[in-house]
Amino acid sequence: MYDVIVVGAGIAGMTSALYAARLELKTLILSRDIGGQLMMAPEIQNYPGFISIRGSDLALRVMKQVEGMGVEIRIEEVVNVKEEKGFIVYTAEGSQYETLALIFAFGKTPIELNVPGEKRLKGKGVSYCAICDAPLYKDKIVALVGLGEVGLHAASVLSEVVRKCYWIFPGPTPGAISPNVVKYVKEKGNVVLMPRTQVVEIKGDGKVSSILVKSLESGEVREIEVAGVFVEMGYKPKTDFLRGFVDLNEKGEIIVNSLCETSRKGVFAAGDVTNIPYKQAVISAGQGAIAALSAYNYVAQIKGYSRIDRDWKHLRVRHEEEGGGLFLRI
Ligand SMILES: Cc1cc2nc3c(=O)[nH]c(=O)nc-3n(C[C@H](O)[C@H](O)[C@H](O)COP(=O)(O)OP(=O)(O)OC[C@H]3O[C@@H](n4cnc5c(N)ncnc54)[C@H](O)[C@@H]3O)c2cc1C
């Protein structure tokens, strides 16, 4: 039985785990990957302590810090949770884990196209991150399904690398985006704009070889040969499996209070997956810390430890009584 299981190894989850481990809670992180959205941020200029840092570098630094604290990290996707003498967490890989407290920090997940072939060819030509995967498609032909600023950013990244990029979008324009950059992408010469079109199927035997594209004006469907499909339609919290377990808002975000408590006792949440209004790395990290401190207090209550107050006084009392050295590390 773990004291706390953190779901998600983005900046929120890793910060939670760091705090939990420093408070000597037996901590496990379950995550689909390490770093989350930070891995897609080319440059971060607003994270304290760094004038400029690549998102992936920041994520790896935090991961090393977390591992150094002895936190166990398993790459598994959480698909269900149940309350039963604590909580049981189920993963897509078929494992189940028991814990006293839970911290949900699983951020936002790329919006999918939901067309035949997409799931099967994920990672085999279907990508949700142009900045991460564009170099794999040097001099190749790719398709991009993208809207707004996110789509535009992907188009400009791809146009630097690929031979040709078909940019597919359902409306007359790819969304409310700055005209100068649209002009730049057009001028690159290798981006073909395909307004009022929609990808209806991704084909390939083992890896992507073509797409079926439908014209929303004529209904005509045609096949285009591509080596990759980039889906850049933004992100949303993927919280369906928590419906009825904790309260969600209309966007599917987990509702938390200022202590990062959810509507269920013993369950906390932090970062982009919550209803906090500003989705930023430093805010996710801060919420991760709050969630861990709140989880500590919850576990402390169950185990009969003193709780932490705002000045950390009770923690000092607890560890002086137990002869522990934790106070010295705070
Ligand atoms: C391109 C880009 C640029 C950005 N630039 C900046 C910037 O300059 N400054 C800034 O402050 N912010 C920036 N952001 C926003 C910032 O990256 C996010 O606000 C922050 O990283 C969110 O962290 P998080 O830990 O809450 O969630 P995420 O980073 O989304 O992490 C969630 C983690 O949970 C995992 N996960 C998801 N579902 C499950 C599941 N069911 N089971 C197990 N694991 C799961 C994911 O794999 C991931 O590891 C940028 C974001 C992007 C995409």
Per-position b or e across 100-129, b if 16+ CB within 10 A of its CB:
bbbbbbbbbbbbebebebbeebeeebbbbb
Q: How far apart are CA 29 and CA 75, in angstroms?
A: 8
CATH number of 126-232: 3.50.50.60
3-class SS at 230? strand
Stretch (H or E) spanning 321: helix 313-322
pLDDT recorded at residue 317: 47
Angle of the 179-188 helix axis to the 148-159 helix axis, nearest 10: 30
pLDDT recorded at residue 325: 45
Q: How far is the CA of 34 from the centre of ligand 1 (A)?
A: 10
Q: How far is the CA of 36 from the centre of ligand 1 (A)?
A: 4
pLDDT recorded at residue 327: 43
pLDDT recorded at residue 174: 79
Candidates 110, 11, 106, 9; CA nearest to 55 is 11
Whether the CB-CB separation of 161 and 135 falls below 8 Å is answered with yes
| Ligand 1 atom having least distance to the Cα of 284 | 26
Residue 157 identity (one-letter amino acid): V
pLDDT recorded at residue 311: 59
Residue 81 identity (one-letter amino acid): V
* Best residue for ligand 1 mutational test, from 38, 149, 287 (most atoms within 8 Å of Cβ): 38
Q: How far apart are CA 144 and CA 44, in angstroms?
A: 25
Q: Which DSSP letter does residue 196 get?
A: T
Q: Model-level pTM?
A: 0.81
Domain with CATH 3.50.50.60 in the chain: 2-108+237-329, 126-232
**What is the CATH topology of the domain spanning 2-108+237-329?**
FAD/NAD(P)-binding domain (3.50.50)
Give the strand pairing for 96-104 and 267-269: parallel
Number of C-beta neighbours around residue 314 at 10 A: 16
pLDDT recorded at residue 141: 98
* Best residue for ligand 1 mutational test, from 77, 106, 133 (most atoms within 8 Å of Cβ): 106
| Ligand 1 atom having least distance to the Cα of 150 | 1
pLDDT recorded at residue 177: 65
Pocket lined around ligand 1, Cβ cut-off 6 Å? 7-13, 30-33, 36-38, 40-41, 44, 46, 77-78, 105-109, 238, 271-272, 279-282, 284
Tell me the mean pLDDT per 10 residues along the chain, length 330.
97 97 95 91 89 93 95 96 96 97 95 94 90 90 90 89 94 74 77 93 96 96 97 90 96 96 98 93 97 95 78 53 46
Whether the CB-CB separation of 118 and 221 falls below 8 Å is answered with no
Q: How far is the CA of 296 from the centre of ligand 1 (A)?
A: 24
pLDDT recorded at residue 330: 40
3-class SS at 166? strand
Q: How far is the CA of 68 from the centre of ligand 1 (A)?
A: 22
Q: How far apart are CA 203 and CA 213, in angstroms?
A: 11
Q: How far is the CA of 192 from the centre of ligand 1 (A)?
A: 30
Written as six digits, the tokens of 4 are 């706390």
